[in-house]
Structure 1
Amino acid sequence: MLESIYIGMSGLTAYSKGLQTISNNVANLNTAGFKTSAPRFADLYYGQQFARSQPGAGNTMQFGSGVEYGYSSLNFMQGDLHSSSGPLDLAIQGEGFLALLDGDATRYARTGQFSVGDDGFIADKATGLRLAALTSSGGLGPISLEGKQISAPQATTVVHFSDNLSSGSTSFSIPNVDVYDANGGKHTLTITFAPDSAIIPGRWKLTVTDENNLPVQQGTLQFNGGIPEPGRDKLDLTLSSVDAPPLTVTLDFSNGVTNFSAGSTSSLRVSDKDGYATGTLSSMNVDDNGQLILQYSNGQTDTLRTIALARFSNPQQLLQMGNGLFDASHAIPPIYRASSGAGVGQLIAGATEASNVDLSTEFGQLILIQRGFQASSQVLSAANEMIMQLFQMRGQG
């Protein structure tokens, strides 16, 4: 009869641990990236006693020893994806995991909010672990912005023009044409056009002045039949700068420029030009392939390495560590791929994954565990009453 008490106590202990699991799930209802655990119970080993042999029956009797809390099974069902304002907030649509570097160890997470630390590495805001990217050898390495905070300038070499310079115009000018020297210094030019067709029809005089209205260069532009004459359709000018080498820029009217009559209205404009100033890092985002894109104030872009996503053959071997992290030291090593690779899912930037806690499921489990606990306590009460009756009978005897 004492065995019944121990069996009942095993039920109370097991269901208490099951309640702890359910409580933890419910408490993490709003924890980003949290994965629920389902309690699993197991019967304890059986003792054996010899019994009298009977025809067609064994000669042993088996007695159960109760129940134990076997393990908790992780539920990796996808949580809802919520939009966020952080460009480096990352979530995964699919089965993959983000890889985070913790010294020599690697941890894994389903979602995270990342930022650039003081050391230039991209790290998780909550844990400080560095976000891992794929290396050229297929391994993992941290993502550093060292040397990427500035976009070096590029000198302007050519300015292209398009549209119509009306043959009926008496004068025309294009102001605020910005060009840049090798050190990123900006020179703002004004290009003035005046007809000079008294001797040769279709000839225009060009005057280029700088931001101080000082003359930089003069030249001529020749049209034949309303289109620029080859060899007379470009103007080279040289600008000097205090802290940069002389800048030579070509004004190119050879393609897309016409000289047809349109009254006094001309539509001639700058169509494109190269060169840009020094740029500072203004924003970052992650594209669909998991590659980090850097955008600079001078309009230029640059790319860093591709964020690594991990695929496990058996995610149940992962261990929860807190802060949404998983330990894989006892799991089969994962395969690392870029976003949209086989089995790793799609990396989503500007989003986080919510907890996958389903309250209806948790409360259903809670009712079952509560009933199991109550039933085990009833067994204890019944066994206790029977023992008390036994003691009373022995006392009477």
Structure 2
Amino acid sequence: MGVSGSLYSGVSGLNANGNAMSVIGNNIANANTVGFKSSRAIFGDLLSSEISGSGGISQVGRGVGLSIVDNIFSQGTFENTETNTDLAVEGSGFFIVSDPSTGNSVNNYTRAGAFRFDADGYMVNPEGYNVMGYQLDDNGDTIGDLTPIWANTQSFTSAGSTSSIDLNTNIDSDSVVVGAYPSFDPLDASGTSNYATSIQVYDSLGSTHLMTTYFTKNTNQNWEWTSVVDGGEVAGGTSGELEVVGKGTLQFDASGDLIAIGVDDSTDGTGTLTVNQLYTVAGDTSSDPVFPKPTATTLAGALDWNNGAVQNNLIEIDMQTTQYSSPSVVVSQEQDGYGTGTLVQLSVDDEGNVVGNFSNGTPRKLMKIALAKFTNPNALDKAGNNMFAQSNGSGVPIVGTVGSGVGNIFTNALELSNVDLAQEFVKMITTQRGFSANSKTITTTDEMLAEVINLKR
């Protein structure tokens, strides 16, 4: 190879260290880039030349070359944000994004989860690429193939009719006995009851109806309960008159605790009472509860709303009632119905579900974000804008959702760059020294060649 061969060895060292400095510079430049994954330059020596010596054949190296630039996919730290569509992946997964201008024909992969919903309701990254996911069926299970995450921002959610009421009350044990059962008269409600409480209930169309439950004391531990609505709102009723839609009895023990509920099982309120025991008290002083706990119900066929809603609406009433010597009062009451609502906000939960929050207070899962992982992510091709593309070396993506082994999602968070600045500056020093040393090889070889030239003067 001769003296001049060392010139080319030095040049190879300059090229290799120059490329390494480019990798380091790119890492440092992206130290604050969301989801950025750093790289490292791996060197390899070049094929050696053989020379003959007195001791036999020897090899002399011909310099260094850049073997590969590795992507380092170590986990970056998380930054908490105030945006509920900012997402971070924990684990080996990638978000799947696709260019809508190409008809979403090719997928790219990213760890940068700074997403948002555009004016058309599509979930996109800052470059406008669609975030990919799955549609959901009524049970919340994924169906179909990968498709852009989309929400109809002009959508309505249907109403839900009331099916249960939780009524937590105390009725005063010192109340005056009104009369023997049956004593409540819907034509003289206030005169034939001791206490009443009202709550708005919903039908299947989302219309509200005022339902009032009256309590009438019959004996010291026995009360009558009667639920009514305005007769003009149900079939066969008269507007302005109370229509009985549920009735029964309440039985309390000497401590004021409810021990039995009586429910009229007829369709017209004139049938026999079905008595449901809340507690087994015979020979048992501990009053162990019976499961499942019985509840009161409205009369069969009584809630036939006359506005075209679903007929024969039945409502269970959980009578969480006590009879203590204290003024009658409603502690709390709730019902599970709701009216129609418009979409007011979109968010993502930790399971990757895109959740629509509607004006009626009911959330609904709309779609689910997909994640992908690769057997060899280090071989992914960088596609720019924090995105990677599949390569022959990376293998095909394994696509799934949160909980299927492809990673976890954190909301209101972004994964930061995994660049370690301290380590990059140390690499910068060693690379600079390597570059300088190789330049010295060239200058020294030049001096040696000059000496050869000067042999003949």
Provide TM-score, normalisation by structure 2.
0.70
Paired residues of 1:280 and 1:296 also in contact (CA < 8 A): yes
In structure 2, what is the equivalent of residue 89 of structure 1? 86
**Amino acid of the structure 2 residue aligned with 1:339:** V
SS of 1:215's equivalent in the other structure is: coil
In structure 1, what is the equivalent of residue 16 of structure 2? 14
What CA RMSD, in Å, does the superposition of the two structures yield over aligned residues?
3.6
**Amino acid of the structure 1 residue aligned with 2:38:** T
In structure 2, what is the equivalent of residue 67 of structure 1? 64
Structure 1: segments with no counterpart, 5+ residues = none
- The separation in 1 between residues aligned to 2:332 and 2:163, in whole angstroms, is 14
- The separation in 1 between residues aligned to 2:385 and 2:365, in whole angstroms, is 29
SS of 1:72's equivalent in the other structure is: strand
Match of 2:149 among 143, 146, 160: 143
- The separation in 1 between residues aligned to 2:330 and 2:204, in whole angstroms, is 28
SS of 1:18's equivalent in the other structure is: helix
In structure 2, what is the equivalent of residue 215 of structure 1? 240
SS of 2:364's equivalent in the other structure is: strand
In structure 2, what is the equivalent of residue 230 of structure 1? 263
Paired residues of 1:99 and 1:309 also in contact (CA < 8 A): yes
- The separation in 1 between residues aligned to 2:201 and 2:250, in whole angstroms, is 29
In structure 1, what is the equivalent of residue 341 of structure 2? 279
Task: Render the CA deviation track for 1:169-217: whole Å, top value 9, x for unaligned.
Answer: 7753435x22334432344x3737485979xx9567877569xxx8352
- The separation in 1 between residues aligned to 2:143 and 2:306, in whole angstroms, is 47
- The separation in 1 between residues aligned to 2:68 and 2:250, in whole angstroms, is 89
In structure 2, what is the equivalent of residue 256 of structure 1? 319
SS of 2:423's equivalent in the other structure is: helix
1:325-336 to 2 correspondences below 5 Å: 325-330=387-392, 331-336=394-399
Matched residues, number: 377
Paired residues of 1:159 and 1:270 also in contact (CA < 8 A): no
- The separation in 2 between residues aligned to 1:87 and 1:42, in whole angstroms, is 46
Paired residues of 1:195 and 1:204 also in contact (CA < 8 A): yes
- The separation in 1 between residues aligned to 2:68 and 2:423, in whole angstroms, is 18
Counterparts in 2 of 1:350 and 1:341: CA distance versus 1, 3 Å:
same
More displaced stretch, 355-364 vs 290-299: 290-299
In structure 2, what is the equivalent of residue 351 of structure 1? 413
Paired residues of 1:223 and 1:259 also in contact (CA < 8 A): no
User: Percent sequence identity over matched residues?
Assistant: 30
Structure 2: segments with no counterpart, 5+ residues = 136-141, 177-192, 232-238, 253-259, 270-295
Counterparts in 2 of 1:82 and 1:246: CA distance versus 1, 3 Å:
closer
Paired residues of 1:157 and 1:248 also in contact (CA < 8 A): no
Provide TM-score, normalisation by structure 1.
0.80
Paired residues of 1:150 and 1:279 also in contact (CA < 8 A): yes
In structure 1, what is the equivalent of residue 109 of structure 2? 108
For the pair 1:123 / 2:124, whether they are aligned, the reply is: yes
**Amino acid of the structure 1 residue aligned with 2:444:** A
Task: Render the CA deviation track for 1:84-106: whole Å, top value 9, x for unaligned.
Answer: 22222111222222222232111
- The separation in 2 between residues aligned to 1:345 and 1:41, in whole angstroms, is 33
SS of 1:8's equivalent in the other structure is: helix
1:354 offset after TM fit, Å? 0.8
Counterparts in 2 of 1:257 and 1:310: CA distance versus 1, 3 Å:
closer
1:358 offset after TM fit, Å? 0.9
1:157 offset after TM fit, Å? 5.7
